[in-house]
Every structure is written in structure tokens, then in C-alpha cells.
Amino acid sequence: MAHVMTVRGPVEPDRIGPTLTHEHIFMDARHAWDPSELPDPAVGAEPFRAEFGGLARWSWKAFRDALHQSPDGDYAMIAEEVAEFPRAGGSCIVELTTIGIAPAPLALRRLSEQLDLHVVAGAGWYVHPTHPPDVEDADVDELTERLSDHVEHGLEGSDIRPGIIGELGTSQQLEPCEERVLRAGARVARSSGLPINIHCHPAELAVTMRVLDVLEDEGHDLARTSLSHLDEIGELDYHEAILARGAIVGFDSFGHDGGYFSPSWRARSDLDKMATLAALVERGWEDQLVVSQDMHRKHFLLRFGGLGYNHVLLRIVPRLRSVFGIDEPTIEKLLVTTPRRLLTIDPAGEA
């Protein structure tokens, strides 16, 4: 039977309602910590507080604690924050914390059960700087074998199976080890029927096209692929070149109002992202677009002055309706139809 694989096991696709397609619930990005922009860098080592929210939005690497959402010390806080999503009408979160940024599948299942929320976990490896040494040195066959084991038997030594491969990390220039990870991901996706998500560092179009070429070269169906963070690109020609290949484009960094990729690359405003999304809908691409928030730092949480896990449902969707005239059938595609299609595993391709 066709199904979506969640952390609690397979569910029928029609049980999957409004979905955030790129989120993090528990993760650890403390490797990126850099408090040098703070007036007093020593403050960057203190426990995160609401009064730090503005500075963290300006300099996202500055506060070490803000880069870590722990399944141990932060569980109760994170559960309260994530609960705002189903309270707003949400049904499913695709949680894409992969190896390199500390996946926590057992905590995801606990949270899924506690909130009665569908959670789909990802599998694979993040960007090159976070790769363990044994990934850097592994060839494609070795990586394929390891990833197949995660898909078939469970993540991080658990019995929790992933429902998507990714987010697989790529950098501004595709690193050789990242290409090997992509090839392994494509091979496992082909054998298991799972979709793939790619973390794109929005780069030259040629780099993003190269990512798609690698996946396609390994026999992966690009219609089973979502590319994240491309809402940071405003050029419609860029988007249409990707969409014409059949891939799904993620407008999945709503709520990011500070530096996203580097101090010299400021995140586009939510209004600008919505305008680009609406223009692509107007051009007929509404079946290949999804929306999300990429929550992964404490300063995004409501208690620290952030917009929370309910931002897309409570603020972005109403603005898409009222300001840009996006109709209800299209909203349904963005939130339900396309995510459900992406996540549905064809029985003929099951692991």
C-alpha cells in the first residue's frame, strides 16, 4: 500500500494534511559559533535569553546556545513551541536534521506521540564542513551501503525509519565529497522509493543544475526531489530553469530576517519571497512549490521573540491570500497536495 513513512511508522497518504516540508526540531550547529560581532564576545557563551533575540537575528552565529536545540535539556521547551503548529491546523513536519548536525530520531518519535503530530525524519549527511572523517574518505559504494542500512533498519541505532533522504548538503561550489553523498542518496532513493531533499546554498545556476545532473545521472527521478532555500533567489529565470527540470522548489526560509548564509548575504524579506512565489504561481508552476520555515535556532522560537513554528499558517498563508490573491486550491497545493505527493512512497519502490 502507498504510504508516508513517519517516525511512528507508515501512514496512509490521505492522513497527511498541512505540511512544513523543511524544519528542524532538534539539532546542533554549535560548530558554526562565532561571537566576534558582539560588543562583548563573552556574552555569546551565556545561556540564550529573549533580550539577545535582536542581536541573534543580526548575527546568527553569535550565541552558542541559540545554535543548539537539545533533545535532553531543551525537550520540554521545544515540545511547547512545536505544539503551536498543530494548534494552528498543521498536520505534518518534515524534520531534516542529518548526520553532522545531530539527528535525534528517538526524541522525534516521543514528540510525535506526545503531540499526535506526523513527523517525517530525514537521512543522510549535511554539508562538507560537518562531515565525519569516515564520510570524507568514503567512496560512493560505501556511502550507499551505509545509507541503505539507515533506510532499511533505522536511524542512529534506532528502529525509526526515515521518510525522506536529506537534507543532503551542498555548498556554494559542489565539493567532491558532497557529490559522492548525492550519488549515494540517488542510488538509495531509486531502490527505496524515498524522495530526496537538497540543502542548496543558493549559488550560480550552473551549480544547482550540476546537483540535478548528478542525481539524474544516477537514475533518480527529479520529480521526487525538493530543493531547499531557493526562496533566497529572486530571479524568476533561475527558478523556471530548475522547475523545468521537474524538481520541486522550496520556499522554506520564511521568518528569516537576518543573515542566512553569510554576513554579506542578508535574507530576503518574507514579502519579497511571497512576491516571487506568487509570480511563479502566475506562470503556472503551482504544482512544484512548497513552503516552510527552516526553524533551527532558538531565536526563531516564540519565547525568544521569534515567529514560531506556526508562522507559515498564521501569517504567510493569510498574506498570500489577501495581498497576492493566491486562491484556496493553490494554497492546498502548497501545503498539502504537493508535500503529500513528494512524501508518498510507491509500493513498487519500497525498501
Q: How confident is the model at residue 262 (pLDDT cuts 50, 70, 90)?
A: low
Per-residue pLDDT reduced to its tens digit, 215-242 = 999 999 999 999 999 999 999 999 999 9
Surface-to-core class of residue 151, CB atoms within 10 Å of its CB (0-12 exposed, 13-18 middle, 19+ buried):
buried
pLDDT at 321 over 70: yes
DSSP 139-187: -HHHHHHHHHHHHHH-STTSSPPPSEEEEEE--SS--HHHHHHHHHHHH
| Domain ranges (residues) in the chain | 14-123+150-164+232-349
Mean pLDDT of 142-160: 97
222-248 core/surface letters (b: 16 or more CB in 10 A; e: else): bebbbbbbbbbbeeeebbbebbebebb
Domain 14-123+150-164+232-349 sits in CATH 3.20.20.140? yes
How many other C-beta atoms lie within 10 A of the C-beta of residue 29? 22
Whole-number pLDDT of residue 260: 55
- Check residue 201 and give its pLDDT: 86
**16-42 pLDDT, tens per residue?**
999 999 999 999 999 999 999 999 999
Strands 4-6 and 9-11: what pairing? antiparallel
* Cα(13)–Cα(98) distance, integer angstroms: 24
Provide the pLDDT for residue 347. 73
Tell me the C-alpha distance between 234 and 277, whole Å: 9
In a 13 Å sphere around the CA of 315, the CA atoms on its Cβ side amount to: 12
With cell 558582539, the residue in question is 38
pLDDT at residue 351 tops 50 = no
CA distance 60 to 83: 24
Span 276-319, pLDDT tens digits: 999 999 999 999 999 999 999 999 999 999 999 999 999 999 99
Q: What is the pLDDT of residues 42-96, one digit of tens each?
A: 999 999 999 999 999 889 999 999 999 999 999 999 999 999 999 999 999 999 9
Percent of the chain with pLDDT over 70: 96
Percent of the chain's residues with pLDDT above 90 = 91
Question: What is the pLDDT at residue 350?
Answer: 44
